[in-house]
Amino acid sequence: MKQSSRQTGANRGGLWIVLVAAAALEAISCIMYFTSRNAIRHEAEQRARTELRKAELEIDVHAIEMETAAKALALLAERHIDQPDSIFSATRLAVSTLTANTSMAVAFIPDYFPQRGKYFEACSSRFSEDSIYTRQIGSKDHDYTQMEWWQNGFVHDSCWWCEPYLDDSGSQTIVVSCSYPVRDRQGKVVAVVCIDMSLGELKNLSDYLQVYPNSYYSIRSSSGVEIVPVPDTVAGKKYNIFQEEVDATGWHMEIIIPEEELFRDLNHIGRIVGILMIIGLAMLILIVWYAGRSNKRLIESTARNRSIENELNIARKIQMAMLPTRFPPFPDYPNLSAYGEVIPAKEVGGDLFDFYIRENKLFFCIADVSGKGVPASLVMAMTRSLFHSFTSYLDSPAQIVTQMNNALSGEGNDENMFVTLFLGVLDLASGDLKYCNAGHNAPVPLTVIPNLPLGVMAGYEFQEQEAKLEIGETLFLYTDGLNEAENERHEQFGEQRMLEQLAISRERSTQQIIEDMRQAVKTFVGEAEQSDDLTMFAIRLLRPSHTSEDHFSLVMRNDIQQIPTLAEWIEMIGMPEELNMPINLALEEAVSNVMLYAYPGKSGQVLVECVKSDRLVFTITDSGIPFDPTQQADPDVTQSAEERPIGGLGIFLVRQIMDDIRYERKDNKNILTLTKQL
């Protein structure tokens, strides 16, 4: 009877353990789910707005290119205002300078050239790369004076974009047109330049706006006319809509993302976690039940415990998959070297390191959750989610750590677990480092204010610190699994051995530093069993984006798709506003030549540098085959379009915009220097 009572008490105690564990897991899982959901929504919004801004920039660049071509054609037409044959040559020359297939025309007021008839519209169209078709399309049947673009060309003294229409004479497709007035020698508007942008070309420019497989996008004119229409949505579905305006044309772009598309991966992971939780709880019930049985049952329970270890190993693999695994992590940032790894112990643990780049700043952290097992791994996952959530819109390390602490100190922390964490924000351009420490080991070579760990006290005020990461200096972060690693005599590896090993490896790469440290610990520990997870993370700034307030640099791959990034970089230089567009045009032409001719059929990099003083000195450097663009002769604009070869206008435009252009071949590199006086 007494033994039965003890068995019943043990069963009840085991049942309470199961219930408490289930409640804790459920609470933590709910917090993780809703935190992750908010983080995913915010990340999707940031991604959509980033892609919209990129698309807006690309359309702006394309529109500005066409507006520039329209103004250039107007200038040529004004020079030959009384020579109708030269007008044909001018349209052909202008079309040949553009990269896209389009049509350009100069339409004169009726009876301006009586010998040519009442309607005179000189038009050149390019339907393929090497085919330009020039003709006179003005006629009674094609009365361009009734067209919106022609009428507004007289009203607006600048480039003006019309609504979409079917052009059955020029481009022979649905287009939007940019018009610009042409004046005679007395300043009177006598003609209008028209350049067409086909909707098909515009759709190709915007294809990457489909940021998710089942998302939609559309482009509307300033008056609401659909340029790229959005497909019909499904009734009853929820959608997220993000909008952006194209500055050059006044058009509106929007991305439409179904709600289910945003959270598909999260829901899938939630189902997996739910299944694992059910399995884990079921196994826990079995363990408690059999713990109160006889020795035979205890032996059977031991066998089942081995099965639990296998499940924990699976959980460890899932946990490790959440950490960064790709190195080098950011190919587009050659000035950043970073490497890290987690060397797990046998149990599921709570070590964490993570990082990503936002707005040219590296957000990174390293953390260690108190305790071991599944609760520690769940808190680790929650900590990682909070890191991504709050760093997506906050820049201050102290504010980020404060928000993370408040979230972890709430009611969901039923196990009273805490997290030691170090969080930093590194400006990749200047090397300025802001950081906040929450009870974690001080990274080498920083000094830190300890502060409290996360999850100990809600509302605690964390103190922020600042430092400077010099070029070539390594920032080494680690958890206590490194300095507290023990050998068979229970001696610890210690900080002194760690510093000595760092001094030996200081000239090596970040990956080699981590590997050398791992080998040093392995040699010291010997056959002793690892008792704690070991996490290490190293960061080194190889080269800043610019070295002073007057020197700027930009590294680009030899990919024409990267050309739009020049406009953002030029704005960062801070030159007079009236120089932005011509300097951008000159650099686009020069860099495009390098990408097309210096690296034929292979990958490479192009370095663009600017030194700003009383003048602007741009240096374009590549390691491609020898190529001197200054040897290209200027095109003879007096020749007819049929006599003059296609192309050649790019370097001519560069010479017209810049005050000096020079080329040299040095150390197996092409160096092109462009100078502009301020």
Burial class (CB in 10 A: 0-12, 13-18, 19+), 19: exposed
Of the residues 248, 276, 292, the one at which a domain ends? 292
Instruction: Give the model confidence (pLDDT) of 123-141 as tens digits.
Output: 988 877 778 888 888 888 8
Both tokens of 361, joined, read 């700043």
For residue 2, what are the CA distances in angstroms to 5, 6, 284, 290, 300?
5, 6, 26, 19, 24
Same-domain pairing of 573 and 533: no
Give the chain's length.
Answer: 678
* Integer Cα distance of 539 and 503 in angstroms: 15
Asked whether residue 593 is assigned to any structural domain, the reply reads yes
Same-domain pairing of 157 and 67: yes
Mean pLDDT of 94-98: 84
Mean pLDDT of 518-538: 90
Q: What is the CATH classification number for the domain harbouring 132?
A: 3.30.450.20
pLDDT at 629: 85
The letter for the amino acid at 224 is: G
* Integer Cα distance of 678 and 673 in angstroms: 16
* Integer Cα distance of 557 and 600 in angstroms: 13
- Chain mean pLDDT for the chain: 81
Of the residues 506, 541, 576, the one at which a domain ends? 541
Asked whether residue 335 is assigned to any structural domain, the reply reads yes
Asked whether residue 144 is assigned to any structural domain, the reply reads yes
- pLDDT > 70: what percent of the chain? 83
CB 428 within 8 A of CB 362: yes
Helix, coil or strand: residue 144: helix
Mean pLDDT of 112-122: 89
Pairing of strands 361-369, 351-358: antiparallel
- Say if residue 121's pLDDT is above 50: yes
Helix, coil or strand: residue 633: coil
Radius of gyration of the chain from its Cα atoms, rounded to whole angstroms: 33
Asked whether residue 399 is assigned to any structural domain, the reply reads yes
Whole-structure pTM value: 0.41
pLDDT at 544: 47
Both tokens of 345, joined, read 């112990």
- pLDDT grade, residue 236 (50/70/90)? low
CB 409 within 8 A of CB 393: no
Q: What is the CATH classification number for the domain harbouring 455?
A: 3.60.40.10
pLDDT at 536: 95
Same-domain pairing of 273 and 384: no
CB 119 within 8 A of CB 106: no
* Integer Cα distance of 204 and 202 in angstroms: 5
* Integer Cα distance of 473 and 468 in angstroms: 10
* Integer Cα distance of 319 and 310 in angstroms: 14
Same-domain pairing of 96 and 43: yes
Instruction: Give the model confidence (pLDDT) of 332-350 as tens digits.
Output: 677 889 999 988 776 667 7
The letter for the amino acid at 361 is: K
CB 336 within 8 A of CB 428: yes
CB 326 within 8 A of CB 354: no
- pLDDT grade, residue 473 (50/70/90)? very high
Burial class (CB in 10 A: 0-12, 13-18, 19+), 318: middle
Cis peptide before 445 (omega within 30 of 0): yes
Same-domain pairing of 101 and 3: yes
- Say if residue 453's pLDDT is above 70: yes
- pLDDT grade, residue 371 (50/70/90)? confident
Same-domain pairing of 589 and 526: no
* Integer Cα distance of 353 and 362 in angstroms: 13
CB 539 within 8 A of CB 337: yes
**What is the longest distance spanned by two Cα atoms in the chain?**
124
Domain residues for the domain of 65 are 1-292
Asked whether residue 316 is assigned to any structural domain, the reply reads no
Same-domain pairing of 434 and 287: no
Give the count of alpha carbons within 13 A of 57, CB side only: 18
Same-domain pairing of 102 and 162: yes
Same-domain pairing of 169 and 51: yes
Report the domain count for the chain.
3
User: DSSP H helical segments within 454-505, as ranges?
Assistant: 480-483, 494-505
pLDDT at 198: 76
Mean pLDDT of 374-402: 91
pLDDT at 322: 76
**Following DSSP, what letter does each residue of 539-584 receive, concatenated?**
EEE-S-S-SBTTEEEEEEES-GGGTTHHHHHHHHHT--HHHHHHHH
Q: What is the DSSP letter of 100?
A: S
Both tokens of 325, joined, read 């695994």
* Integer Cα distance of 8 and 19 in angstroms: 16
Same-domain pairing of 383 and 496: yes
Mean pLDDT of 69-83: 88
Q: Where is 124: in which H helix or E strand?
A: strand 121-128
pLDDT at 547: 43
pLDDT at 398: 96
Both tokens of 568, joined, read 């953002």
Q: What is the CATH classification number for the domain harbouring 584?
A: 3.30.565.10
Asked whether residue 297 is assigned to any structural domain, the reply reads no
CB 424 within 8 A of CB 365: yes
Pairing of strands 465-468, 239-245: unpaired
Same-domain pairing of 151 and 23: yes
Instruction: Give the model confidence (pLDDT) of 243-268 as tens digits.
Output: 777 766 677 777 777 777 767 777 77
Both tokens of 135, joined, read 């003709």
Instruction: Give the model confidence (pLDDT) of 627-664 as tens digits.
Output: 888 887 776 656 555 555 544 567 888 888 999 999 99
Lowest mean pLDDT among 114-128, 150-164, 264-278, 368-382: 264-278
Cis peptide before 600 (omega within 30 of 0): no
Asked whether residue 237 is assigned to any structural domain, the reply reads yes
Same-domain pairing of 24 and 54: yes
Helix, coil or strand: residue 619: strand
pLDDT at 8: 60
CB 60 within 8 A of CB 253: no
pLDDT at 642: 55
* Integer Cα distance of 470 and 417 in angstroms: 37
Of the residues 479, 506, 541, the one at which a domain ends? 541
Asked whether residue 310 is assigned to any structural domain, the reply reads no
Give the count of alpha carbons within 13 A of 74, CB side only: 25
Select, from the ranges 28-37, 168-177, 477-486, the one with the highest average predicted confidence (pLDDT): 477-486
- pLDDT grade, residue 452 (50/70/90)? very high
Both tokens of 486, joined, read 């023990």
